[in-house]
């Protein structure tokens, strides 16, 4: 057996990791390598007869120093998910612990790396080790071979990577600057980053596959920040609508039902596409409500104010009102400033003020003010 490299990783490290957790690490490493070099094609192959799973990159090669924890060639690349330099080492540990074999065919360097646990004389503990043998090879690229993988275990992998889904089904999607909106009904509320499934606490009407530069994953690569996810989906929906890839009625429905997909639109009003969404929503509002100076409102105060000054207040869902609040205030200001044909008496002016703002007063104050207004001749 070749030269031995001991890693300071004991058998019980990341004890909660499963077979799928280990393979998702290897898949993401493969995807990242293809992103760094488009010609470095990544693929997965499984043989149901031999129970062997292979993860292949057509041009990759590994240096010995990648066995160091924290060593990674991706830490400064915003287009890749891997950052922490632990990936394949942790995967090897977990798979060995589960009774699998984990072997790397480092063909570009004519090497075979075999992993297993050994009793370390130095550390007086059973730790993960790699044995590196020099073996001439006619093959190219990098092959990670995992043996003893059951067909059920392989089937379980289908939920962790979009690549497996695309092997079986046609993927319907809308491409945006931030990633893809996934339209397939069975991908609804599924979140992916670079094709890798992650957990998010939000409930989405569509599925999403984010580009890594826009979503920060936690260290385990399995969870993401829910606020950041909602922020990014809002921008994706806005872009898709402005580009004509999503109907305005579809987006309006999402906004009206307060869907998590568009929850953060109101906080991104300054962004170009979101500004266009607001213009399109107010245009649709005006087509629906044609009475002079129709105003979208949500609060009782705004409703009373528009009514008092002769406008047409239209109560809209809270999220629609939040998006259109600047337009609402602009229309109210315009309404108030319009020249009035009739001349109001002092009593009528007080009465209008009372109708607008009385809800802000205590009940006793309202009653007292109402009596005073009625005393005005």
Domain span including residue 312: 289-337
Q: Both 235 and 198 in a single domain?
A: yes
What mean pLDDT is predicted for residues 34-62?
A: 94
- What percent of the chain is predicted at pLDDT more than 70? 93
**Whether pLDDT at 47 is above 80:** yes
Residue 43 has pLDDT above 90, yes or no: yes
Same domain, yes or no: 29 and 69: yes
Tell me, yes or no, whether 325 lies in a domain.
yes
Mean pLDDT across the chain? 88
Which pLDDT score is estimated for 359?
74
Pair (226, 195) in one structural domain? yes
Same domain assignment for residues 195 and 272: yes
pLDDT at 288 over 80: yes
Label residue 235 by pLDDT band (50, 70, 90).
very high
Same-domain check for residues 220 and 118: no
Question: Do 310 and 354 fall into the same domain?
Answer: no
60 shares a domain with 88: yes
The answer to whether 327 and 335 have CB atoms below 8 angstroms apart is no
Please report whether residue 329 resides in a domain. Answer: yes
Q: Is residue 284 part of a domain?
A: no
Same domain, 189 and 238: yes
Say yes or no: 322 and 247 in one domain: no
Q: Is the model's pLDDT at 183 over the cut of 80?
A: yes
Model pLDDT, residue 219: 67
pLDDT at 133 over 60: yes
In a domain, 362, yes or no: yes
152 and 135 in one domain? yes
Q: Check if the beta carbon of residue 319 is closer than 8 Å to that of residue 252.
A: no
In a domain, residue 182? The reply is yes
Please tell me the number of Cα atoms within 13 Å of 38 on its side-chain side. Answer: 0
CA–CA separation, 306 and 310 (whole Å): 6
101 part of a folded domain? yes
The per-residue pLDDT for 262 is 95
Same domain, 147 and 67: yes
Residue 148: inside a domain: yes
Number of folded domains in the chain?
4
Q: Where are the beta strands (DSSP E) in the chain?
A: 3-10, 42-47, 52-57, 101-106, 111-120, 125-134, 142-147, 173-176, 179-182, 191-193, 196-198, 207-210, 294-297, 312-315
Last residue of a domain, one of 136, 158, 180: 158
Residue 360 lies in a domain: yes
């Amino acid at each position: 057996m070749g030269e031995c490299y001991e890693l300071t990783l004991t058998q019980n490290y990341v004890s909660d990791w499963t077979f799928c957790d280990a393979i998702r690490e290897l898949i993401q490493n493969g995807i990242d390598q293809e992103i760094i070099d488009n010609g470095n094609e990544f693929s997965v192959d499984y043989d149901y007869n031999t129970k062997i799973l292979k993860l292949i990159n057509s041009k990759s090669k590994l240096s010995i120093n990648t066995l160091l924890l924290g060593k990674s060639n991706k830490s400064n690349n915003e287009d890749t998910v891997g950052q922490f330099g632990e990936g394949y080492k942790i995967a090897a540990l977990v798979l060995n612990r589960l009774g699998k074999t984990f072997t790397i065919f480092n063909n570009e360097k004519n090497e075979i790396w075999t992993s297993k646990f050994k009793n370390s004389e130095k550390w007086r503990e059973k730790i993960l080790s790699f044995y590196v043998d020099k073996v001439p090879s006619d093959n190219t690229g990098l092959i990670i071979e995992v043996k003893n993988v059951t067909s059920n275990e392989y089937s379980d992998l289908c939920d962790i990577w979009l690549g497996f889904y695309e092997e079986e089904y046609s993927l319907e999607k809308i491409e945006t600057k931030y990633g893809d909106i996934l339209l397939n009904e069975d991908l609804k509320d599924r979140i992916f980053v670079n094709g890798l499934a992650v957990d998010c606490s939000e409930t989405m009407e569509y599925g999403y596959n984010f580009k890594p530069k826009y979503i920060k994953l936690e260290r385990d690569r399995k969870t993401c920040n829910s606020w950041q996810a909602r922020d990014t989906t809002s921008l994706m929906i806005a872009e898709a609508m402005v580009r004509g890839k999503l109907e305005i009625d579809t987006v309006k429905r999402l906004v009206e039902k307060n869907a998590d997909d568009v929850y953060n639109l109101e906080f991104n009003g300054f962004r170009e596409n979101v500004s266009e969404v607001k213009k399109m929503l107010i245009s649709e509002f005006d087509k629906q409500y044609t009475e002079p100076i129709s105003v979208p409102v949500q609060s009782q105060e705004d409703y009373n104010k528009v009514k008092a000054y002769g406008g047409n207040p239209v109560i809209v869902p809270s999220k629609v009102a939040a998006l259109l609040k600047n337009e609402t205030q602009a229309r109210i200001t315009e309404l108030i400033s319009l020249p009035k044909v009739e001349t109001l008496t002092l009593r009528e002016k007080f009465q209008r003020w009372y109708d607008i703002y009385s809800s802000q007063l205590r009940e006793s104050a309202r009653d007292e003010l109402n009596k005073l207004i009625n005393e005005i001749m």
